[in-house]
């Protein structure tokens, strides 16, 4: 029997139909990119980082006829799908490493790619963004799992480094790990809570997909949950918003606005977040 997800395009299309909030967050991202293009009031260049099969970049090209749209996707199966989808559009598709891109841009969009990308990509994104530009960063994060003490520590952390999935927060911790594989107790405790918070979120997503009759989406989410619960798995590793927000600050960005989709009364289900970022002054 053929697997329903044998083609990556199936994931990109079906997730918009059966994963709670993904269609909503895409609409929000389109609206925010449009808003920032209007704000700049000049011909703009928009870069989508991690465009997958090109669905959003295709929409941006239709809705922003005066803008130059660059879609970037390194993952070869998705890049092949994007090539087909964008063939007769004016979108420029780039599939080389993101670090090879040098053209200055006015607006950057990353929708759903952040937790798949190397953490240093934010620094390169900052180098590409013009000083008056905007970075719309949306993703499915792990709902917050850090304690008040950890939040205070993270707000002052001079570094955020993933050591096979464990979060290190200083140059000394990084050096100790490299020399002897030593992990601070805080990193181990945070990872345990990350796993529990993730499972709570994935159960909610799968239940929503099943109740809506989207069995293929439920199966895909169960596979993602399996990967995400494995510490250090590179395919899936969602972090708490507090950790991501420190990464953002260390890369030279300021959070202008934060949009959270989810039940207002239940922060344990606040995973779908969109940030509007500006260059830090």
What burial class does residue 100 get, using C-beta atoms within 10 Å of its C-beta: 0-12 exposed, 13-18 middle, 19+ buried?
exposed
- Mean of all residue pLDDT scores within the chain: 93
The pTM of the full predicted model, rounded to 2 decimals, is 0.93
Alpha-carbon distance of 254 to 275, in angstroms, equals 10
Alpha-carbon distance of 271 to 238, in angstroms, equals 9
Strands (E), 41-156: 45-49, 68-72, 92-94, 105-111, 129-140
Residue 104 has pLDDT above 90, yes or no: yes
Structure confidence at residue 1 (pLDDT): 32
Weakest-pLDDT range from 94-103, 137-146, 212-221, 265-274 = 212-221
Structure confidence at residue 3 (pLDDT): 42
Residue 153 has pLDDT above 90, yes or no: yes
Alpha-carbon distance of 263 to 268, in angstroms, equals 9
SS3 211: helix
pLDDT tens per residue, range 195-252: 999 999 999 999 999 999 999 899 999 999 999 999 988 888 999 999 999 999 999 9
In what helix (H) or strand (E) does residue 238 lie, and over which residues does it extend?
none
Contacts of 215 (CB under 8 A, 6+ apart): 209
What are the structural domains, with CATH classification, of the chain?
8-144+237-279 (3.40.50.150), 148-229 (no CATH)
Structure confidence at residue 60 (pLDDT): 97
pLDDT category, 6, cuts 50, 70, 90? very low
Share of the chain above pLDDT 70, in %: 96
Alpha-carbon distance of 89 to 264, in angstroms, equals 39
What's the token pair of residue 114?
A: 């952040």
In what helix (H) or strand (E) does residue 125 lie, and over which residues does it extend?
helix 121-128
**Nearest residue to 198 via CA among 150, 167, 238, 234:** 238
Q: How many CB atoms lie within 10 A of CB 217?
A: 27
pLDDT category, 69, cuts 50, 70, 90? very high
Computed from CA positions of residues 32, 102, 125, 10, in that sequence, does the dihedral angle turn out positive or negative?
Answer: positive
Would you list the DSSP string of 151-169? HHHHHH-S--EEETTEEE-
Alpha-carbon distance of 98 to 74, in angstroms, equals 8
pLDDT category, 64, cuts 50, 70, 90? very high
Structure confidence at residue 73 (pLDDT): 97
pLDDT tens per residue, range 71-94: 999 999 999 999 999 999 999 999
Residue 24 has pLDDT above 60, yes or no: yes
SS3 266: coil
Structure confidence at residue 119 (pLDDT): 79
pLDDT tens per residue, range 188-206: 999 999 999 999 999 999 9
């Amino acid at each position: 029997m053929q697997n329903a997800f044998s083609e990556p395009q199936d994931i990109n299309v079906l997730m918009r139909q059966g994963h709670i909030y993904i269609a909503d967050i895409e609409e929000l991202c389109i609206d925010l990119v449009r808003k920032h293009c209007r704000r700049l009031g000049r011909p703009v260049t928009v870069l989508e980082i991690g465009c997958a099969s090109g669905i959003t970049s295709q929409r941006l090209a239709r809705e922003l006829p005066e803008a130059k749209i660059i879609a970037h996707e390194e993952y070869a199966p998705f890049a092949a799908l994007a090539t087909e989808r964008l063939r007769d559009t004016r979108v420029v598709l780039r599939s080389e490493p993101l670090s090879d891109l040098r053209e200055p841009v006015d607006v950057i969009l990353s929708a759903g790619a952040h937790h798949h990308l190397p953490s240093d990509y934010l620094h390169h994104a900052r180098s590409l963004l013009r000083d008056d530009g905007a970075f719309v960063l949306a993703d499915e994060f792990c709902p917050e799992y850090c304690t008040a003490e950890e939040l205070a520590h993270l707000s002052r952390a001079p570094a955020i480094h993933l050591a096979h999935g464990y979060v290190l927060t200083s140059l000394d911790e990084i050096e100790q790990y490299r020399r002897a594989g030593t992990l601070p107790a805080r990193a181990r405790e945070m990872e345990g809570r990350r796993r529990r918070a993730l499972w709570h979120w994935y159960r909610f997503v799968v239940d929503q997909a099943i109740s809506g009759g989207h069995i293929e989406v439920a199966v895909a989410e169960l596979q993602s949950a399996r990967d995400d619960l494995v510490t250090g798995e590179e395919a899936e590793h969602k972090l708490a918003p507090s950790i991501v927000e420190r990464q953002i600050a260390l890369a030279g960005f300021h959070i202008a606005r934060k949009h959270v989709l989810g039940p207002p009364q239940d922060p344990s289900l606040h995973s779908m977040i969109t940030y509007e970022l500006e260059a830090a002054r």
